[in-house]
Amino acid sequence: MRKKLTFFIILFILLIISNNMGWAVELKLPEPSHSFYVYDEAKIIDNQLEEYIVETNKELYKKIGAQIVVASIMDLENRDIKEYATGLFEKWGIGSREYDNGLLILIAPEEGEIWIEVGYGLEGALPDSKVGNIIKNSILPYFKEDNYSEGILSGFNEIINEVEREYNIELGRDRINEDLYFFNDSYGKISLFHGFGKILLVLGIIIFLFIDFRFFNGFITYSLLRGSRFSGSNFGDRGGRSSGGGGRSGGGGAGGKW
């Protein structure tokens, strides 16, 4: 009887120790950065790209509550990159709680591995096969040449393009940074008439305002401005430090090595 009791006591202690060790491993996951949308422990993302990712995400979150986070880490600590990405995704709560429309691009340059973890709400727009193709065709060719910022930008733009199509939105990334928006123009958005088109747009706005204020006392313009105040989604700009919206990982995604 005493031997059995001793056995169960030892077993109980071992279970407590192993559980605490599990929590210790979990606690080693980093906290998000101040901007939330870019965590660059490995120092592979240049400042211009970081600003572009952050500002694009702010627009994305305001419109549909989605979040596309890019994270680089120094060391996986002998853990599977998918397991690490899932843990980080859940800890940071990427995407909105209502729609679980978050996505995490996790890069471990020392191990030469990347994993893209996709939330439930984005799996329709970004199934595993499409994510795998983005990694293979748009990211890894740059990573193999140690051009990390270029690879991240190329993959990020591809992902945002798919999200815009799925939700039928336009984020105005050309206004955030025209050069980065048109980088590696996969979808043929650049044309010889791009600059000329902007001129025509400005002229059209001027003509519209002239006619409205000349003949209608600005009635149309004021009506449009009043309407815009009450339109849009429920996802406002929270201001200050950004954070996750409480989204969950969908378990989908894809990875690659270089």
- pLDDT range class, residue 218, cuts 50, 70, 90: confident
Cβ-proximal residues to 58 (8 Å cutoff; 6+ apart), any chain: 237, 242
pLDDT at 174: 94
Q: Is the pLDDT of residue 40 over 60?
A: yes
Specify whether 207 is located in the same domain as 222: yes
Asked if residue 220 is part of any domain, the answer here is: yes
Q: Where in the sequence is the domain holding 198, given as residue range(s)?
A: 194-228
- Considering the domain architecture, whether residues 118 and 202 belong to the same structural domain is answered as no
Q: Kindly report the CA angle at 241 between 239 and 247, in degrees rounded to 5?
A: 95
**Among candidates 28, 139, 132, which has minimal Cα distance to 75?**
28
Specify the number of domains making up the chain.
2
* 86 or 197, which is more confident: 86
Percent of the chain having pLDDT more than 70?
74
Which domain CATH number covers 116?
3.10.310.50
Domain-located, residue 11: no
Instruction: Give the Cα separation of 160 and 133 in Å (integer).
Output: 15
Are 51 and 85 in the same domain?
A: yes
> Could you tell me the end-to-end alpha-carbon distance of the chain, in angstroms, rounded to an integer?
58
DSSP letter for 103, please.
E
Higher-confidence position of 93 and 183: 93
pLDDT digits (tens, 9 = 90+) for 110-128: 999 999 999 999 999 999 9
Q: Are residues 202 and 119 in the same domain?
A: no
Average pLDDT value over all residues in the chain: 82
Domain membership flag for residue 58 = yes
Q: Do residues 204 and 145 share a domain?
A: no
CA distance 132 to 184: 18
Question: What does the pLDDT average to over 193-213?
Answer: 69
Indicate if the pLDDT at residue 240 is higher than 80: no
Residue 203 and residue 107 in one domain: no
Distance CA 15, CA 231 (A): 54
Q: Are residues 52 and 157 in the same domain?
A: yes
pLDDT (average), residues 100-119: 97
